[in-house]
Amino acid sequence: MPDLRHTDIQYLHGVGPKRAELLRKELGLSTYYDLLYYFPFRYIDRSVINHVNELRGDEAAVQLRGRFLTFNSVGEGRKRRLQALFSDGTGTIEVVWFNRVASIQKTYNTNTQYVLFGKPSMFNNHLNIVHPEIDLAQAEHVAQGLQGVYNLTEVLRNRSFTSRAIHKLVLTLLDTPAVRHIDETLPPELVHRYHLMPLAEALRNIHVPSDHQSLQRAQLRLKFEELFFLELNILHYIKGSSRRLVGHVFSRVGAYFHDFYNNILQFPLTGAQKRVIREMRQDMGSGKQMNRLLQGDVGSGKTIVAFMTALIALDNGYQACIMAPTEILAGQHLETIRPLAEAIGVKVALLTGSTRKRERTAIHEALQNGELQILIGTHALIEDTVQFRNLGLAIIDEQHRFGVAQRARLWSKNRTAPPHVLVMTATPIPRTLAMTVYGDLDVSIIDELPPGRKPVTTVLRHEPDRFKMYQFVGAQLKQGRQAYIVYPLIEENEKLDLHALELGYEQVMEVFPHYNVAMVHGRMKPAEKDHQMMLFASGKAHILVATTVIEVGVNVPNASVMVIEDAERFGLSQLHQLRGRVGRGADQSYCILMARNDLGRDTRHRLQVMTQTNDGFVVAEEDMKLRGPGDMEGTQQSGIAFNLHIANLAQDGQIIQMARNAAEDYLRDDPKMETPWGRKMAAHIREIFDKQANWGLIS
Ligand code: ADP
Ligand code: MG
């Protein structure tokens, strides 16, 4: 029997070399297999016949039964079109064709009953349908039941390669022996345990559903299969014991950790903080390299966890580094950590792009002789000139700014074995999803905020409310609090945005003549930026007008108001990050989203999510639903390709969980995938994922 994956689509009856070329170029379909797995993106119920006198012109698609009354060719040359009048007994509707006029005129006549299928619209106050599908009304010619609609490109449509043409090819394909006798890809126990539809039946029903229920079962089966192989690949190949690298063994928790915990730490750790520290201790003592993602909402206390994890490395005679995405953040980490470290006799230094040559040389030396134990910095840390004596742990803060490749470069910083890696992110997503999206990472979650935090009150306001907004900010300032006013800054529009920011700055100075206003933006020299930030952080400036440079990490507990200008231009996770800058002290804090009046539906919804919840997990999930996981910050670089055929990582959370469990169960019984089914599935996984190259390479 021909192998579906290696049979060129041109050999399918009705295709041939020319159409094959089109399908390959336009839809990326080059084999039988590709076409078989090219699923409809929606379905239309063709069993319903509509009536012309009931149409409003806003229906997605309708089906009409009747006859043509007249055909009229109108216009000349390229403007030529064909207009027909179609009647179903309840009324008439105009039907229009803009091309193939002659051939249409030859094919259809006024004596025959037809069934038309298409999208009606209102044009110049009367109903019409452009380019409908047309069948003879005799039953055997009419499409029945649910009909799949396939995605097309403009080029295909112009060559009259319709969704129905694809559908016909699929029908032919479904009837070939190779497909009718297609091999089941899942072990029978699994099909049985999860009540899955067998593969052959599912493939038929996904293209030609016999009814709604069969369609749903087919979708479930195919999504499950896709996710099951994805999870199996992650568990076996990417994280499987065979691929796991040997790691430095941190066998004990020693003096540094205990000294800090017992004598320096000012507050009790939350239960979640304790749990994740325990998880990491276990990992780092296991003999395998740790690759862990630490998720925690803004303000959940990741920094202290990072620091204490670093102390475990130090207790075992290793060095640690902490890498942040911006100089400001790296600087803040230093300020937070240095006093804690010095109190227990640990040496810390900061290395960024603007570190002076002399200091840099001194740092290099101290790193190599082991005197310097914790190095904090920016990308400057991964430069080749930076050599550690014995780096045991690399911590990356705010992960979405770093790519997989950069993470990999950190690994080469220890010559005997790669350091343990802890990646921290404040863009939390559900655990199973995180384990899937960041396939190579284990996941720890801080799902608890330190006690006493008040949720930030968030409101959506528009231009007419500006004066009231300023009044409110003024009242907060009067109480001794500080405020952020943030402007968007995107690269294409940099000049304009900078202008808006500067205007805003002037306006704020006018409105608040008795307060000091600082300003930071990305185009400033680092020294000036730091100076302005310092003014605000120290309380000398009461208002900080800024672009998103303050988005991550910055900590000024006395700030109680965050005004976000042009809020509609920010993504959800960005808004949540910004909001996280306030609500850090004990007092009630506020986030005011200033937006245009005439917001689109999605945009308004996005901003409303912010006013309804403070929970980063909820925000992240909504974000994913609105944008799809492929667009989420961080996921592009996560190394996992998102060319799933049918499953949707944002929406199929339950199936992901099911598939994850099934893959774990399977590997428990067949850990090396060496049973006949194991070998078969291993081959299948290689087929699927080899194309996606290198996504497991760095593990
Ligand atoms: P993030 O997770 O956003 O990086 P941080 O580490 O900056 O959060 O912590 C936010 C603030 O909460 C800091 O001021 C930190 O000292 C404080 N904090 C952290 N853990 C606790 C705790 N268990 N109890 C009280 N305050 C804490
Ligand atoms: Mg932080």
Each residue's pLDDT tens digit, 564-583: 999 998 888 889 988 988 98
Query: Does residue 151 sit in the same domain as residue 174?
Result: yes
How many domains does the chain divide into? 4
How many angstroms separate the alpha carbon of residue 643 from the centre of ligand 1? 38
- Would the pLDDT of 188 be above 90? yes
- Is 426 among the domain residues? yes
- Would the pLDDT of 596 be above 80? yes
- Is 240 among the domain residues? no
> Is the CB–ligand 1 distance for residue 145 below 6 Å?
no
> Is the CB–ligand 1 distance for residue 302 below 6 Å?
yes
Query: Does residue 19 sit in the same domain as residue 112?
Result: no
Q: Which ligand is nearest to the CA of 274?
A: 1
Nearest alpha carbon, ligand 1 atom 5: 301
Query: Does residue 23 sit in the same domain as residue 76?
Result: no
- Residue 427's pLDDT band, with cuts at 50, 70 and 90, is confident
Q: Which atom of ligand 1 is nearest to the CA of 306?
A: 6
Q: Which of 687, 646, 653 is nearest to 151 (CA)?
A: 646
Q: Which of these ranges, 83-87, 247-251, 332-336, 553-557, has the smallest mean pLDDT?
A: 553-557
> Is the CB–ligand 1 distance for residue 298 below 6 Å?
yes
- Is 231 among the domain residues? no
- Would the pLDDT of 144 be above 50? yes
Query: Does residue 363 sit in the same domain as residue 461?
Result: no
Compute the average pLDDT of residues 667-672: 93
- Is 85 among the domain residues? yes
- Residue 1's pLDDT band, with cuts at 50, 70 and 90, is low
Q: Which of 202, 311, 192 is nearest to 258 (CA)?
A: 311
Domain that holds residue 31: 1-47+144-182
How many angstroms separate the alpha carbon of residue 665 from the centre of ligand 2? 36
Domain boundary among 613, 642, 677: 613
Where is pLDDT greater, at 428 or 622?
622
Q: Which atom of ligand 1 is nearest to the CA of 584?
A: 11
User: How far apart (Å, rounded) are the C-alpha atoms in residues 538 and 588?
Assistant: 20
Number of other residues whose CB lies within 10 A of the CB of residue 211:
11
Q: Which of 559, 537, 372 is nearest to 483 (CA)?
A: 559
CATH of residue 601's domain is: 3.40.50.300
How many angstroms separate the alpha carbon of residue 333 from the centre of ligand 2? 8
Q: CA-based Rg of the chain, rounded to a whole angstrom?
A: 31
CB 82 within 8 A of CB 60: no
Query: Does residue 297 sit in the same domain as residue 414?
Result: yes
Domain boundary among 405, 424, 446: 446
How many angstroms separate the alpha carbon of residue 332 from the centre of ligand 1? 13
- Is 363 among the domain residues? yes
Where is pLDDT greater, at 271 or 615?
271
Query: Does residue 423 sit in the same domain as residue 478?
Result: no
Would you state the pLDDT for residue 345? 97
Where is pLDDT greater, at 515 or 453?
515
Compute the average pLDDT of residues 223-232: 94
> Is the CB–ligand 1 distance for residue 574 below 6 Å?
no
- Would the pLDDT of 617 be above 90? no
Q: Which of these ranges, 158-167, 255-264, 603-612, has the smallest mean pLDDT?
A: 158-167
CA 388-390-391 angle, 5° bins:
75
User: How far apart (Å, rounded) are the C-alpha atoms in residues 544 and 487?
Assistant: 11
> Is the CB–ligand 1 distance for residue 439 below 6 Å?
no
> Is the CB–ligand 1 distance for residue 449 below 6 Å?
no
Domain boundary among 446, 479, 510: 446
In the predicted model, what is the mean pLDDT of the chain?
A: 87
Query: Does residue 5 sit in the same domain as residue 116?
Result: no
Q: Which atom of ligand 1 is nearest to the CA of 336?
A: 16
Query: Does residue 382 sit in the same domain as residue 462?
Result: no
Instruction: Give the whole-number percent of the chain exceeding pLDDT 70.
Output: 91
User: How far apart (Å, rounded) are the C-alpha atoms in residues 394 and 378?
Assistant: 12
Compute the average pLDDT of residues 74-88: 89
- Would the pLDDT of 537 be above 50? yes
- Would the pLDDT of 400 be above 70? no
464-485 burial by CB neighbour count: b if 16+ within 10 A, else e? eeeeebbebbeebbeeebbbbb
- Residue 483's pLDDT band, with cuts at 50, 70 and 90, is very high
Give 9's Cβ-side CA count (13 Å radius): 24
Query: Does residue 425 sit in the same domain as residue 322?
Result: yes
- Is 199 among the domain residues? no
Compute the average pLDDT of residues 186-198: 95
> Is the CB–ligand 1 distance for residue 300 below 6 Å?
yes
Q: Which atom of ligand 1 is nearest to the CA of 580?
A: 3
- Is 693 among the domain residues? no
Would you state the pLDDT for residue 309? 97
Query: Does residue 591 sit in the same domain as residue 572?
Result: yes
Each residue's pLDDT tens digit, 491-500: 556 777 778 8
How many angstroms separate the alpha carbon of residue 269 from the centre of ligand 1? 9
Each residue's pLDDT tens digit, 37-51: 999 988 888 778 899
Query: Does residue 271 sit in the same domain as residue 303?
Result: yes
How many angstroms separate the alpha carbon of residue 299 from the centre of ligand 2? 7
CB 337 within 8 A of CB 395: no
Query: Cα–chain-centroid distance for residue 267?
Result: 35
CATH of residue 87's domain is: 2.40.50.140
- Is 660 among the domain residues? no
Compute the average pLDDT of residues 654-666: 93
Mutate to test the pocket of ligand 1, among 303, 423, 582 (most ligand atoms within 8 A of CB): 303
> Is the CB–ligand 1 distance for residue 583 below 6 Å?
no
Whether the predicted model's global pTM rises above the 0.75 cut: no
- Would the pLDDT of 638 be above 50? no
- Would the pLDDT of 554 be above 80? no
Query: Does residue 421 sit in the same domain as residue 378?
Result: yes
